[in-house]
Amino acid sequence: MSATGIGASVKRKEDQRFITGKGQYTDDINRPGQAYAVFVRSPHAHATLKKVDLSAALKSPGCLGAFTGADLASDKVGTLICGWMIHSKDGSPMKAGVHPALAQGKVRYVGDHVAVVIGETLNEAKDAAEKVSVEYESLPAVTDLASAQNPGQPQIHAEAPNNTVYQWHLGDKAAVDAAFASAKHVTKIDLINNRLVPNAIEPRAAIGEYDAGNDSLTLYTTSQNPHVTRLVLAAFIGLAPEHKLRVIAPDVGGGFGSKIFIYAEETVCLWAARKIGRPIKWTGERSEAFLADAHGRDHVTRAELAVDASGKIVALRASTKANLGGYLSTFASSVPTYLYAPLLSGQYDVPAIYCEVDGVYTNTAPVDAYRGAGRPEATFVVERLVEVAARQIGKDPAEFRRQNFIKSFPHQTPVIMAYDAGDYEACLNKALELADYKGLGARKAESASKGLKRGIGFSAYIEACGIAPSQAVGSLGAGVGLWESAEVRVNPTGSVEVLTGSHSHGQGHETTFAQLVSQRLGIPIEQVTIVHGDTDKVQFGMGTYGSRSGAVGMSAIFRAIDKVIVKAKKVAGFVLEAPEESIDFNDGIFSSKATNKTLTFPEVALQAYIAHKFTGAQLEPGLKEGAFFDPTNFTFPSGVHVCEIEIDPATGATRIDRWTAVDDFGTLVNPMIVEGQVHGGIVQGVGQALLEGAVYNKDGQLVTASFMDYTMPRASDVPSFNVAMTNTPCPSNPLGVKGCGEAGAIAAPAAVINAITDALGHEDIAMPATPQAVWRAASKAVEKLAAE
């Protein structure tokens, strides 16, 4: 391992600009002649738009224009899309209502987009927006997921009777029913996976710009996947042909899924830029982000686990209602289906699994992928079930897990996935040791002596990352392929630019990707620049989400480097006057057994460009290669997280005393960055378990619509973490990497809730386990004890 190669904790190359205030986020960009967009949003969760009167707004000082859905429709602007087709169990396609960028006829959630007002200045745009007069006819709203499909509920989209988008299922129902019928023990639980607001600290923003000279458009935007944004805006929404539309996603301040999607605001800014003939900027306020960024999770699930007399799991059954909000966001349909149910085998050998999922419209913000996307929901189901089952049959939770672990690979689960590699016992053993599981009894006694309740919770999670084999996801309904591309451009002086379709918004690609290049080409890491986030520079790419950039994005770079080396060896052969087959390349040096001369990588690069040692008939000049990498399987990161908490039953305050994470991510490119991803993921999961929850009242008002009402994890809410790794390399990509970006958020909620229920001695607590909820549950535990 070199100091800057694979496996080294190289300090990040991108940090210099961020720690000096020189980052360039979308809102840091001002374009010449720029005007400002402000959106008029619905205060009603469900209403008919009777009349939108723009006349007073248009007369407001500095107002340059004001538009409604009718203006978009008359310009034949397409509606927003959902790019994954799900079929119901009866074979019928999902029933999706129309999703216009500006409402047409109806509004369907508080924050829905009614009109846009363009002003010379932001203040003038805001003043004008306040003068838009909207006549609403309020309709009853439905916000409760559990009852949204009941007869008589308000109907949100005419296309979707009973607010039901699909009734999907996966698995062998008959086999599962048979296993349950003969099982020795059945554990049943009801779970709510609470609704979350992603809250990347950079709010979304967009600048649309029209170049009349070239009849082309440019969009600067906070996107995790600029090429997919361009594709959708061109091919589906129809704002410009793909070659006349440039999408730039500069520095992006966190995404967590919420910046994957193609939203109304960037669509409207781009359209309005041509309409007004000026660059149009919109910067979301946090209040707007709460109302209209896609939310995450929001499931109601009944789950059951069947266990035989020996303690072996024989079947799992789950029935889930998934809230999809008022419209289908870009990938909303896939999250509670194919990103969820195929993970219900967890790390366990479960012979039979059946899951049914109803996708449901409600008068709430659209719900889509949020860090983990389906896999945290699956892990919560599996790890709560396993924990409760172990307690009910009187087995140690760690040993019950061990007994049921999958122990040989590859392993085909009954729900699509073929796990390729792993060693679940190794993770568990290391976690038990680092968490000092043996000492738990003494620590519990010590807590009890102080009047406190101590509990421990395990979460043995698995995720499917490295999204994804294109043919496989295509067969499941995906509208796109999920390969990744890379282009490696070697300059004549031997420095290298890598153009990647992955997008970094905190992951550190400018460092980790450069480590790969530095190692394989034997050049200093300072000689490598990673280029991403601009459709005029990078030909195409699928972006960053689903912990895919290491496994898929870096693999594409790996393959392009392979081609660079092949070509460079040809060049070296001509220069060294040795047969191409005899050329070796190691640590940046080309050599041949046929001669004692050597060449450095920069020397060969220069020779490739001056092209003096070969003719055009023998070899093309230059040194630039590209590759598309389409994985052959998902990757399967796994691990065991152990959370130990202490509860003060007098106040309900839960303190996380220690956290042990042992993860298997395969090959680690930069351990420092990997650990940072784990830390961040854990805290998002702890936030879900203890603090966060988006709450709509029955009228559809979001009552947790600011950082004053929605509890974000602060530094004092969490401890430092004990993070360790095991390593079984992934066999399906050349680096052996699995992905690490979502693991913490997937593992953490179950670990926390398992710890709290262990401390309290009963299972009756929901997320977020706020002090009030814990206090009530603790009081109930006392009553239960007294009654016994």
Partner 1 sequence: MFSLFRKDKKPAEPASAAPAAAPPAATSGAAGSRATGSQLGGRMVKLSMTVNGKPASAEIDARTLLVQFLRENLRLTGTHVGCDTSQCGACVVHLDGRAVKSCTTLAASCEGAKVVTIEGLAQGGKLHPMQEAFREHHGLQCGFCTPGMIMAAVDIVARRGASLSEDVVRADLEGNICRCTGYHNIVAAVLAGASAMAASGAAKPQAAE
Write out the residues near partner 1 by the rule CB under 8 A. Answer: 11-12, 14-25, 27-28, 30, 123, 199-203, 251-254, 256, 285-287, 505-508, 672-673, 675-684, 706-708, 712-716, 718, 720-721, 744
DSSP result, 579-647: -GGGEEEETTEEEETTEEEEEEHHHHHHHHHH--SS-TTT--S--EEEEEE--SS-B--EEEEEEEEEE
Question: What Rg, from alpha-carbon coordinates, does the chain have?
Answer: 28
Q: State the nearest-atom distance from the C-beta of 200 to partner 1, in Å.
A: 6
Of 24 and 493, which CB lies nearer to partner 1 in the complex structure?
24
Q: β-strand 583-586 against 47-53: which pairing, if any?
A: unpaired
Cβ-contact 568, 585 below 8 angstroms:
yes
- Give the CA angle between residues 559, 564, 565 to the nearest 5°: 95
Q: State the nearest-atom distance from the C-beta of 661 to partner 1, in Å.
A: 11
Q: State the nearest-atom distance from the C-beta of 17 to partner 1, in Å.
A: 8
State CA 656 to chain mean position distance.
25
Of 495 and 722, which CB lies nearer to partner 1 in the complex structure?
722
Q: Whose structure tokens read 């990078």? A: 538
Of 709 and 783, which CB lies nearer to partner 1 in the complex structure?
709
Give SS3 for 210: strand
Residue 291 makes CB contacts below 8 A (sequence gap 6+) with 41, 109, 110, 111, 365, 702, 705
Q: State the nearest-atom distance from the C-beta of 285 to partner 1, in Å.
A: 5
β partners of residue 316: 305, 353
Pairwise CA distance, residues 580 & 570, whole Å: 5
DSSP result, 457-523: EEEEEE--BS---HHHHHHTTBSS---EEEEEEE-TTS-EEEEES---SSS-HHHHHHHHHHHHHT-
Of 24 and 138, which CB lies nearer to partner 1 in the complex structure?
24
Cβ-contact 102, 275 below 8 angstroms:
no
Q: State the nearest-atom distance from the C-beta of 34 to partner 1, in Å.
A: 11
Q: Which helix (H) or strand (E) holds 169?
A: strand 164-171
Of 284 and 479, which CB lies nearer to partner 1 in the complex structure?
284
Of 224 and 757, which CB lies nearer to partner 1 in the complex structure?
224
Structure tokens at 562: 């392979």
Give SS3 for 283: strand
Pairwise CA distance, residues 325 & 349, whole Å: 35
Q: State the nearest-atom distance from the C-beta of 263 to partner 1, in Å.
A: 19
Pairwise CA distance, residues 370 & 745, whole Å: 10
Q: State the nearest-atom distance from the C-beta of 472 to partner 1, in Å.
A: 31
User: Alpha helix (H) ranges present in 13-115?
Assistant: 15-19, 55-59, 69-74
Q: State the nearest-atom distance from the C-beta of 585 to partner 1, in Å.
A: 32
Q: Which helix (H) or strand (E) holds 745?
A: helix 743-760
Pairwise CA distance, residues 361 & 373, whole Å: 18
DSSP collapsed to 3 states, 355-409: EEEEEEECCCCCECCCCCCCHHHHHHHHHHHHHHHHHHHCCCHHHHHHHHECCCC
Q: State the nearest-atom distance from the C-beta of 701 to partner 1, in Å.
A: 17
Of 508 and 768, which CB lies nearer to partner 1 in the complex structure?
508
Q: Whose structure tokens read 């799900």? A: 86
Pairwise CA distance, residues 749 & 662, whole Å: 16
Of 249 and 473, which CB lies nearer to partner 1 in the complex structure?
249
Q: State the nearest-atom distance from the C-beta of 708 to partner 1, in Å.
A: 5
Of 117 and 778, which CB lies nearer to partner 1 in the complex structure?
117
Q: State the nearest-atom distance from the C-beta of 734 to partner 1, in Å.
A: 26
Of 28 and 75, which CB lies nearer to partner 1 in the complex structure?
28
Q: State the nearest-atom distance from the C-beta of 22 to partner 1, in Å.
A: 7
β partners of residue 248: 220, 534
Of 43 and 254, which CB lies nearer to partner 1 in the complex structure?
254
Q: State the nearest-atom distance from the C-beta of 193 to partner 1, in Å.
A: 20
